[in-house]
Amino acid sequence: MTVMNKQLNLHAFKDREIVNKLAEEIQLISENMAPLKIMHICGGHENAIVRYGVRQFLPGHIQVIAGPGCPVCICPVEAIDQAVTLSLQPKVTVLTFGDMLRVPATTTSLEKVRSDGGSVKVIYSPLDAVKFANEKPEQTFVFFSVGFETTAAGIAGLIQSGVPKNLLFLIANRYMPPVLKLLMEVHDESLQGFLLAGHATAISGLGVYDFMHDEFKLPCAAAGFEPVDILLAVRELLKQIKNSQHEVINCYPRVIREEGNLVAQKCLNEVFDLKPGVWRGIDVVEDSAYILKEKYAFLDAGKQLTCIPPYPPQAHHPSCLCHRIMLGEVEPQDCKLFKKACTPGKPFGPCMVSPEGTCHVRYTYPEIKIDFS
Amino acid sequence: MSEISYQTLNNVGHIKFPVHNGAMDLQHCRQLFETIQSAKQDDSIKVIVLWGGPDFFCNGIDLNAVHLQYNSSILAYKNLKALNKIVHAVLTADTKLVISALQGSASAGGVMLAVAADLRYARSNVILTPSYANLGLCGSEYWSILLPAMIGYGNTQKLLYEACPVSPAEALHLGLIHQVICGEAPAFAENITAKAEYLASTNIDARLAAKSVLNQRLLAEMDSQVKLELEKMKDCCNHPEFESSRTHFVEKNSCRQSLFLCASPGNNCRINKSDCDE
């Protein structure tokens, strides 16, 4: 592993010269290669790719498509419905990250229910939840947690360190590796590599993706979030594809250690079990839902409070294609609602809400045309 | 799962899959695939007989299981691909002769599974419904290569677009099946077993050599053709027509009846004595 430089200059990772050099190398490596598709599974990657126009540095026959990498987008509607129901109970306040407020649930959203009298507060860190709970011991607070390994590790650490009695948890966190199996099934043999989410892999390490090598013979590269990080990872994937190799490689060594974050992993294993879990609109994915272990059942809002809504869940508006966009089967512009009925101001589906959602990213950043001459 | 069984006798492998209503869920498909693969590798046999079940040979994917799934489109697609694998396994059984013995009716992918066999025999009560359109699907299981080769382009058009059931007489006339065998189930089983044992013990290598020549073109084209089928099927699986047809099928459970009601006057559902072998 590369030793991290404490004075790391992040500007280098946006450097135009380095970017151009990588683009040239990618061009060269892929020259005689058949058209191929690489999928990334991180909302942060989609944001960076579109914002910096990274796709324009890739040859036309090398496609990098977006997968289900936005934690807000894949959060099951059932969980948001539960949060809505909880927020309407007396002396219960739901705490969550800002992105979740405007995500459409079955009948409403947390933002709308708040304006209708529901008790919902935005927090910026799990520690804020503890602060709120300590300040108002007579009130019950429910931390509605979404996110992947990174957020789950933070929650696990918080729970292990002890939380006030009036703080409960509604956990909708998801573990990323198992969804790759589903993506392979959905895309048949059309995917030829994966860009792994840098931050989630920093927690889990690379070994948990070995099944991609063993079972599917497909290369994976964990990537950072600057243009150079992403192009570097694409270059490494292309090299592997060209040489019929299929290793799981670390292209983000300034953050990721091969074995991951062992302390965080220990915390996660002590606090959570992994069970089958819904990824919104996509499917139930085996061993992908973080569930509080039995010894922490007293913190589980689902068990301690009544939070089942009196209506069946509906993951998507019938015309919304968010679930297929998250699977990488279609592009936002294939959806009839995109930029018309569905905008960040009035989102129909979850992908239009978060800055990591594919529709939101494509809406926010107009297509950049770079003059290479 | 005990519903799928494999027995061998006198150089013949007998595969029975009497699944409920002939509907193959993912587990059934995987088990039947493995069973066929084992039979293909079994040096003690020369002929494989696919028996299906007593009431239905096979009706394709299990729409009830699909309907109950969180994302029905994904399960439907997985289920279709699993059935494709079975048909592929049958089509590539180059060291065995495969016989379909249709004791009961078949529809959609179940028909394709039956016609993927080298020889196809049916009881006189059997109705084939090789149509997917009634369920909002365009079809898979190598139909686009099997049917035109077997019954011609025009007949394939009629079969697929009209999506009507086919009587044993018409199936025989078209070439979907090779013989209609009248009589009760035990007599049918006896008849098929005797045929299979005869084929397995008499000049089987010559028959297999003929099969390899006959199937060469089909095998060469099937990978690219099935890709096309799956591409279209994926779109169909995500189309509202599939959802509404499936809901109708599952909730009213009347789709099968409605399929039968649409038989056109031209479809002769009566078996003539001359069509039938005792």
Inter-chain touch A282–B240, beta carbons under 8 Å: no
Q: Are residues A76 and A118 in the same domain?
A: yes
Inter-chain touch A323–B71, beta carbons under 8 Å: yes
Asked whether residue A311 is domain-assigned, the answer is no
Q: Are residues A133 and A54 in the same domain?
A: no
Inter-chain touch B81–A188, beta carbons under 8 Å: yes
Percent of chain A with pLDDT over 70: 96
The answer on pLDDT for A119 being more than 90 is yes
Would you call A368 an interface residue with chain B, using a CB distance cutoff of 8 Å? no
pLDDT of residue A217: 94
What pLDDT band is residue A121 in, cutting at 50, 70 and 90?
very high
Task: For residues B186-196, give the mean pLDDT.
Answer: 97
pLDDT of residue A14: 82
The answer on pLDDT for A144 being more than 60 is yes
Q: How far apart are CA B144 and CA A276, in angstroms?
A: 37
Question: How many structural domains compose chain A?
Answer: 3
CATH of the domain at A181: 3.40.50.11750
pLDDT tens digit sequence for B121-158: 999 999 999 878 888 999 999 999 999 999 999 999 99
Domain that holds residue A52: 10-71+177-250
pLDDT of residue A369: 60
Which residues 6+ apart lie within 8 Å of A346 measured at CB?
none
Inter-chain touch A186–B238, beta carbons under 8 Å: no
Q: Are residues A214 and A358 in the same domain?
A: no
Mutate to test the interface with A, among B29, B71, B81 (most CBs of A within 10 A): B71
pLDDT of residue A10: 73
DSSP state, residue B61: B
Asked whether residue A257 is domain-assigned, the answer is no
ipTM of the complex: 0.72
pLDDT tens digit sequence for A207-252: 999 999 999 999 999 999 999 999 999 999 999 999 999 999 999 9
pLDDT of residue A29: 96
Asked whether residue A77 is domain-assigned, the answer is yes
CATH of the domain at A151: 3.40.50.11740
pLDDT tens digit sequence for B27-73: 999 999 999 999 999 999 999 999 999 999 999 999 888 888 888 88
Asked whether residue A161 is domain-assigned, the answer is yes
Task: For residues A282-299, give the mean pLDDT.
Answer: 96
Q: Which residues of B touch A185 (CB under 8 A)?
A: 74, 78, 81
Provide the shortest C-alpha distance from residue A338 to chain B (in Å).
18
All domains of chain B in start order, with CATH: 5-204 (3.90.226.10)
Asked whether residue A112 is domain-assigned, the answer is yes
Q: Are residues A63 and A84 in the same domain?
A: no
Q: Which residues of B touch A325 (CB under 8 A)?
A: none
Provide the shortest C-alpha distance from residue B70 to chain A (in Å).
6
pLDDT of residue B238: 87
Would you call A282 an interface residue with chain B, using a CB distance cutoff of 8 Å? yes
Inter-chain touch A283–B69, beta carbons under 8 Å: yes
Q: Are residues A98 and A41 in the same domain?
A: no
Three-state SS annotation for chain A: CCCCCCCCCHHHHHCHHHHHHHHHHHHHHCCCCCCEEEEECCHHHHHHHHHCCHHHHCCCCEEEEECCCCHHHHCCHHHHHHHHHHHCCCCEEEEECHHHCCCCCCCCCHHHHHHCCCCEEECCCHHHHHHHHHHCCCCEEEEEEEECHHHHHHHHHHHHHCCCCCEEEEEEEECCHHHHHHHHHHCCCCEEEEEEEHHHHHHHCCHHHHHHHHHHCCCEEEECCCHHHHHHHHHHHHHHHHCCCCCEEECCCCCCCCCCCHHHHHHHHHHEEEEEEEECCCEEEEEEEEEECHHHHHHEHHHHCCCCCCCCCCCCCCCCCHHHHHCCCCCHHHCCCECCCEECCECCCHHHCCCCCHHHHHHHCCCCCCCCC
Q: Are residues A112 and A59 in the same domain?
A: no
Name which of B74, B230, B234 is nearest A283 (Cβ-Cβ).
Answer: B74
The answer on pLDDT for A127 being more than 70 is yes
pLDDT of residue B260: 37
pLDDT of residue A181: 94
Q: Are residues A160 and A290 in the same domain?
A: yes
Inter-chain touch A186–B74, beta carbons under 8 Å: yes
Mean residue pLDDT across chain B = 89
Task: For residues A138-157, give the mean pLDDT.
Answer: 97
Torsions phi, psi of A60, nearest 5?
A: -55, -30
Which residues 6+ apart lie within 8 Å of B119 measured at CB?
B97, B98, B99, B100, B178, B195, B199
Q: Are residues A189 and A62 in the same domain?
A: yes
What pLDDT band is residue A368 in, cutting at 50, 70 and 90?
low
pLDDT of residue A8: 66
Task: For residues A193-206, give the mean pLDDT.
Answer: 97
pLDDT tens digit sequence for A328-339: 999 999 999 999
Q: Which residues of A touch B75 (CB under 8 A)?
A: 283
Task: For residues A357-366, give the mean pLDDT.
Answer: 92
Inter-chain touch A284–B70, beta carbons under 8 Å: yes
What pLDDT band is residue B275 in, cutting at 50, 70 and 90?
low
Provide the shortest C-alpha distance from residue B71 to chain A (in Å).
5
Inter-chain touch B71–A282, beta carbons under 8 Å: yes
Q: How many residue pairs bridge chain A and chain B with CB atoms within 8 Å of each other?
A: 24
Asked whether residue A159 is domain-assigned, the answer is yes
Look at residue B117 and give its three-state secondary structure: coil
What pLDDT band is residue B2 in, cutting at 50, 70 and 90?
low
Asked whether residue A31 is domain-assigned, the answer is yes
Name which of B78, B230, B238 is nearest A185 (Cβ-Cβ).
Answer: B78
Q: Are residues A129 and A154 in the same domain?
A: yes
Q: Are residues A60 and A194 in the same domain?
A: yes
Q: Are residues A214 and A346 in the same domain?
A: no
Asked whether residue A256 is domain-assigned, the answer is no
Mean residue pLDDT across chain A = 93
Give the residue numbers in B contacting A (CB under 8 Å), as ranges: 69-71, 74-75, 77-78, 81, 230, 234, 238, 240
Mutate to test the interface with B, among A78, A183, A284, A321 (most CBs of B within 10 A): A284
pLDDT of residue A362: 94
Q: Are residues A214 and A350 in the same domain?
A: no
Contact call for residues B145 and B112 (beta carbons, < 8 A): no
